[in-house]
Structure 1
Amino acid sequence: MQKSTPTSIPDLIARWPTIAQFSVDVGCGYEAARQMRRRGSIAPEHWYRVVSACKKRDIQGVSFEWLASQRSEMAA
């Protein structure tokens, strides 16, 4: 498993074996997860579950602040 902080939302989602497993861990539908990866953005209502899932999978560096920085990069 990669120990470095993901560089983007698609990189984060790629840390899961499949996008389907990401969607199960985060508690969203498969299509929603696929759109998150395509857009490179995760809506704030999913952040708590994303941070929790990252902790369970030992994905380093993913916090509310990191997720917010990814959204602000999209807006810039």
Structure 2
Amino acid sequence: MTDHTTDEPRSAAASLFDLRTVIAVLFGAYGVILTLLGAFGTSAEDLAKAGGVHLNLWTGIGMLVVAALFVTWQRLRPTVTG
């Protein structure tokens, strides 16, 4: 019988269903959509409503940064299973 409590790599399922991964994927997906919408789909009317600020673009970039922070957090401090 072998002891599987030390130096065992994390299972793919544990990594995939880590809450930080789910949050990072959601922030990343919405961030990409908003960034593309802000970069290519902003009209002059939209800019006038927002006071000349590309809100979708900046919000999308912010969401991508948050997604990157969650991925970094998960890589640096993995969950301990077992």
Q: What range describes the TM-score normalised by the shorter chain of this pair?
A: under 0.3
State the TM-score, normalized to the length of structure 2: 0.24
Higher relative contact order (CA 8 A, sep 6+): 2
Query: Quick check: which has more Rg, 1 or 2?
Result: 2
State the TM-score, normalized to the length of structure 1: 0.25
